[in-house]
Amino acid sequence: MVFSSLTFVCLFLPAVIAAYFIAPKSARNLVLVVASVIFYVWGARIAILLVLVSVTVNFALGQAIAAAVPVRRHRLISWSVAGNLLVLIIFKYTDFLIDNINSIIEPIWNWRIPALAIPLPLGISFFTFHIISYLVDIYRGIAQPQRSALAFTLYIINFPQLIAGPIVRYRPIAGQLEHRSVSFSDFDQGVARFAAGLAKKLLIANPIGAVGDHLFAVAPSDLPIWAVWLAVLCFSLQIYFDFSGYSDMAIAMARMFGFRFPENFNYPYAATSIKEFWRRWHMSLSAWFRDYVYVPLGGSRGGTLSTTRNLWIVFLLCGAWHGASWNFVVWGMWHGLFLSIERLRAVDFVLSRSPRLVRNLYTLLIVMVGWVFFRSATLELALDMIARMFGLQSGTQAMLPVSSHVTAPTMLLIVLATFFAFPIWPRVKEFAQKAIGSAGEQVAYDILRATLIGLITVLCLATMTIDQNNPFIYFRF
């Protein structure tokens, strides 16, 4: 079950909302826990056992770490983090490791280790990071262990953020697990944001993604250069609107239930450096790696070499976190490379004195080339695509026209989506509010807003009746 399905929008979510507000406040956590288990079982029946066992064990570990003396506490946190990472590695990386070992031993002994084909539990990367941050914060003494097993379970498996984030730290949300309230404004804003996220996914990401999928399925040498760039642009828009749409829906549903989840996107394609891009893209993940990997490694407190090493380690892990493939590792290292380059004084001097447009175009170029590694099935295909992008690979003589790859309405959608991937909408909204407010017609604005939300919802429902299969890209991670 995904957020962008009729079952979820028309049945599951309304039922959970109704049960939540009918139930007494003391039972609302239980309602959300039961709903989260049902939500997870719907898509991964057996894996729920892993999740519940992990929740049980780590709840006990949190209590033990808090009560232990310093020496034992250090030993407990080391084994706790290692154990959680081992579970992640077993389920997510076993076959990847076996494949790489086979590439070494097969030419020598003509024998292969059979793949285990372990099913990947939904959201394992996200709930593992939630658990690790909880345990580490207790170890550091900046958070107290949760005394309620029910509240801790809700923190880990709360269905809005269980599958694909945002990564919610325990300390900011600890109080909300015990006491929270929902105002009419909260619910109203939650509904509006959920509709916006649904529209991002169904009305923008999916049709643009279909064009990108079609173009990526064609050999780069069979495409004109403009079509290769169009393929990369389509994926760049697809992954942004798909993932930010999911984050919008997660944050919106959390708000309907009284939670305040952290923002996860802030128009990353408007960034003027790779450093700024990672302050705007998947912000909860960036902050997690900063606080739990980069800073403990020494951050930027050492010299240039140690800082560069720390950056590369972080983005090597960040790339691997996204998937068990060398493509993701290279993607992470690609970003680590340019983050290191931007720290050079000469590069920083040039960038800081360049026009904003030039800096933005530089950032977009690096990000889009990186997306080729992220999207391609293999490294070889990614390199072929990049070679064709820059005219380093010759194409076939017969090239199909643009109309054979994308229709005029979809091309218009791609153009509009490109504009709205930049912070244009907030300015339009602010202008409309000021214009209507100055005329004393706030009621007219509210009616217009409600009409727009209703129209978007109807269009999304109509889209869902045609295509029920709408998985989010980050569900794979």
At a CB cut-off of 8 Å and minimum separation 6, what does 171 contact?
137, 142, 143
- The SS3 assignment for 181 reads coil
Contacts of range 413-422, beta carbons closer than 8 Å, 24 or more positions apart: 413/204, 413/207, 413/208, 414/208, 414/211, 414/230, 414/233, 414/234, 414/237, 417/204, 417/208, 417/237, 417/241, 418/233, 418/237, 421/237, 421/240, 421/241, 421/267, 421/269, 422/267, 422/269, 422/270
Closest CA to 377 of 219, 239, 221: 219
Distance CA 414, CA 161 (A): 28
Q: Are 5 and 201 in contact (CB under 8 A)?
A: no
Residue 335 catalytic? Answer: no
Rounded Cα–Cα distance for residues 150 and 37 (Å): 12
Rounded CA separation 88/121 (Å): 9
Reference 141, options 60, 77, 59; nearest CA is 77
CA atoms within 13 A on the CB side of 394: 2
**Among 282, 322, 335, 405, which one carries the catalytic annotation?**
322
User: What is the rounded CA–CA span in Å between residue 472 and residue 262?
Assistant: 20
Assigned token pair, 136: 């580490």
Q: How far is CA 339 from CA 120, 314, 343, 431, in A?
A: 31, 11, 7, 36
Own/partner pairs for 85-94, CB < 8 Å, 24+ apart? 85/128, 85/132, 87/50, 87/54, 87/124, 87/128, 88/124, 88/125, 88/128, 90/118, 91/50, 91/118, 91/119, 91/120, 91/121, 91/124, 92/120, 92/124, 92/125, 92/324, 93/320, 93/324, 94/118
The tokens for 363 are 């950032």
Q: Are 51 and 157 contacting, i.e. CB atoms less than 8 angstroms apart?
A: yes
Catalytic site positions: 322
